[in-house]
Chains A and B, each alone.
Chain A
C-alpha cells in the first residue's frame, strides 16, 4: 500500500522550489539563431506558445503565424502553400516550453529565427525567447506578409548577431538588478516594459557601437522605438529562473502557465512535464477604438511565464501606468491585485521590491493548493490579439487561467502522492 505523502514532505519540497526561484541569477548572455542556441530543435518543426496543439484546433492568429513561419523558413513558396503544408501533417508542432523556450502571443520559434539566450548562473541552465519584433504588423499577432518576413530575416541576419556580439562583448547583462530598477521605475515586466527597455539599451549601446558591423543606427532605432523590447528578455529570464524549480517530487508549485489561443495550460513542479489544460479565456480590459469583444481572440502566449516568477499581474502594484492601459481600475485596485496574489504564493522575492507596498517583495511561487483553497486565480496582465491573423493588438486587459487546470493538477498530484 502506498503511504500518502505527508504535508511536511510537500512543505519541504515547496520550500526547495521557492529557494531555487529566489536563488536564481539570470543573465542575458547572447542572441543567436535558434538552431545554434537550441541544437535539438528539429528541422521542419515550429515551436508555438502554450500547451500542445495541432493545426486543426489552432486559432486565427496562430494559423497566420504558422503560415508566415513556414514561408520564412522557405518550406513553402507562399502563404497558401504554407497553409496546405501545415494542414498536411508534414510540419511538426511543439510547445516552446518543451525546448526551454518561450514566445509572446503566437510564440513562433523556428531554427533560423534569432533568439535571446538567458543563462541562470546559479544553476547553469539556459532559456530562450525570440527577439521582440516591435508593434503593429508582426508575427506574434499572426502577421505574415512580406514586411513581417523581411523584418524577421533582418533580425536573424543583422540585428540578432549585432545584439549577440554586444552582449558577449560585456560578458552578459545581469537581469535581476535591472528588473529591480525597472520595478521602481513603473514596469511590471509584462504589459509595461518601458523602463527596462530603456535601461537595457543604455547597457548595450556602447558595446553595440564597438561591435556592430552594419546598420548600427537602424538597430538602435529598432530597440529604442519599441517599449516592449524587454518583454522577451523578461520572458527568457522568467523561464530560466523557474526552470530549476521544475521536477521537484512532492512540490505543488506552478512552474509553467501558457496559452495557445485555444487552451490554457499549466505544469506543476511535482507532476513533471504533464500539461493540465482548460479553455483559454477572454481578457477583460480596454479595447482600442473601433473594436468590440467579438474581435478579440481568447488568451494567447507564453508571456505569463512572467507571472510565475512574481511579475506581470503579480507586480501590478509597481505600475500605475499599466493599470490604466489594461483597464484594471485604480492604483488601489492594482495594489489589491498584488496583495491578493500573496494569498496564493509561498513567499516574496525581496530582490524585487514594490515601492507602493512599503518595499514588499513580489509574490512568488504559486501553490496549486492555495489557488484551489482560496478560489483566487492567478492574475495575468495581457495584450489582446485580433482574432483575425495579422491584424495586431486590439487592446489589453487582465485574464485568469481556468480553474479546471488547477483541479486537474491537484487530482494528478494526489494520484502520484498516494492521496487518492
Chain B
C-alpha cells in the first residue's frame, strides 16, 4: 500500500505496548486492538524468573 494513501482509508489500529495509547483512540471512537506487550526491559534473567513467579 502506498503510505500517502494510508490515512485516506479507514484506520484500523493494533496498539502494541502502552495501553494508554489504545485508550486514547477508544475515546475518539477509533477501533483499536490492544496487544499487552512490553519490550524485555529486564535484562537480568534472575529478575525475569522472579517476575514470572510473583506475577504483576
Shortest beta-carbon contacts, A-B, top 5: A375-B41, A369-B56, A7-B55, A339-B20, A419-B53
Known: A340-B18, A367-B56, A411-B46. A372 touches B51 (CB 8 A): yes
In the complex, the number of residue pairs spanning A and B with C-beta atoms less than 8 Å apart equals 60
Known: A372-B47, A375-B41, A407-B44. A343 touches B19 (CB 8 A): yes
Measured between beta carbons, the chain A residues less than 8 angstroms from B18 are 339-340, 343
Give the distance in Å from the alpha carbon of A339 to the alpha carbon of B23 in the complex. 11
Give the distance in Å from the alpha carbon of A358 to the alpha carbon of B24 in the complex. 11
Measured between beta carbons, the chain B residues less than 8 angstroms from A11 are 55
Q: List 11 A-B contacts (CB under 8 A).
A: A11-B55, A340-B20, A342-B20, A369-B51, A369-B56, A373-B38, A373-B41, A373-B42, A374-B38, A376-B41, A407-B47
Asked if B6 CB lies within 8 Å of chain A CBs, one says no
Give the distance in Å from the alpha carbon of A388 to the alpha carbon of B11 in the complex. 56
Q: Would you give the 0/1 interface string for B15-52, flagging 1 where the beta carbon is closer than 8 Å to chain A?
A: 00011100000010000000000110110101100110
CB pair A414 B38 closer than 8 Å: no
Asked if B1 CB lies within 8 Å of chain A CBs, one says no
CB pair B44 A10 closer than 8 Å: no
Known: A340-B18, A343-B19, A407-B47. A375 touches B42 (CB 8 A): yes
Asked if A37 CB lies within 8 Å of chain B CBs, one says no
Give the distance in Å from the alpha carbon of A419 to the alpha carbon of B46 in the complex. 12
Give the distance in Å from the alpha carbon of A419 to the alpha carbon of B44 in the complex. 16
Asked if A284 CB lies within 8 Å of chain B CBs, one says no
Asked if B9 CB lies within 8 Å of chain A CBs, one says no
The A interface, classified by DSSP as helix, strand, loop or mixed, is: helix
Smallest CB gap from A411: residue in B: B50
Q: How far is the CB of A331 from chain B (nearest CB, A)?
A: 15
Asked if A96 CB lies within 8 Å of chain B CBs, one says no
CB pair A372 B42 closer than 8 Å: yes
CB pair A373 B56 closer than 8 Å: yes
Asked if B54 CB lies within 8 Å of chain A CBs, one says yes
Measured between beta carbons, the chain A residues less than 8 angstroms from B41 are 372-376
CB pair A369 B19 closer than 8 Å: no
Give the distance in Å from the alpha carbon of A419 to the alpha carbon of B54 in the complex. 7
Give chain A interface residues in 340-383, CB to chain B under 8 Å: 340, 342-343, 358, 367, 369-370, 372-376
A interface bracket (residues with beta carbon within 8 Å of B): 20 to 34
CB pair A417 B56 closer than 8 Å: no
Measured between beta carbons, the chain A residues less than 8 angstroms from B38 are 373-375
Q: By CB atoms of chain A within 10 A, which of B41, B44, B54 has the most?
A: B54
Give the distance in Å from the alpha carbon of A322 to the alpha carbon of B43 in the complex. 33
Smallest CB gap from B19: residue in A: A343
Give the distance in Å from the alpha carbon of A372 to the alpha carbon of B46 in the complex. 12
Give the distance in Å from the alpha carbon of A252 to the alpha carbon of B56 in the complex. 9
Q: Would you give the 0/1 interface string for A9-29, flagging 1 where the beta carbon is closer than 8 Å to chain B?
A: 011000000000000000000
Known: A339-B18, A339-B20. A7 touches B54 (CB 8 A): yes
Asked if A58 CB lies within 8 Å of chain B CBs, one says no
Measured between beta carbons, the chain B residues less than 8 angstroms from A410 are 47, 50-51, 54
Asked if A40 CB lies within 8 Å of chain B CBs, one says no
Give the distance in Å from the alpha carbon of A420 to the alpha carbon of B39 in the complex. 24
Give the distance in Å from the alpha carbon of A411 to the alpha carbon of B39 in the complex. 21
Asked if A413 CB lies within 8 Å of chain B CBs, one says yes
Q: How far is the CB of A278 from chain B (nearest CB, A)?
A: 14
Which of B27, B47, B56 lies in contact with A370, CB distance below 8 A? B56
Q: How far is the CB of B38 from chain A (nearest CB, A)?
A: 5
CB pair A414 B50 closer than 8 Å: yes
Asked if A272 CB lies within 8 Å of chain B CBs, one says no
Q: How far is the CB of A154 from chain B (nearest CB, A)?
A: 48
Q: How far is the CB of B8 from chain A (nearest CB, A)?
A: 25
Asked if A4 CB lies within 8 Å of chain B CBs, one says yes
Measured between beta carbons, the chain A residues less than 8 angstroms from B47 are 372, 407, 410-411
Q: How far is the CB of A174 from chain B (nearest CB, A)?
A: 31
Give the distance in Å from the alpha carbon of A289 to the alpha carbon of B19 in the complex. 40
Q: How far is the CB of A362 from chain B (nearest CB, A)?
A: 14
CB pair B46 A10 closer than 8 Å: no
CB pair A369 B54 closer than 8 Å: yes
Q: How far is the CB of A68 from chain B (nearest CB, A)?
A: 42
Known: A340-B18, A343-B19, A376-B41. 8 other contacts (CB 8 A): A7-B55, A369-B51, A369-B55, A369-B56, A372-B41, A407-B44, A410-B51, A413-B54
Give the distance in Å from the alpha carbon of A11 to the alpha carbon of B19 in the complex. 20
Q: Would you give the 0/1 interface string for A384-420, flagging 1 where the beta carbon is closer than 8 Å to chain B?
A: 0000000000000000000000010011011001011
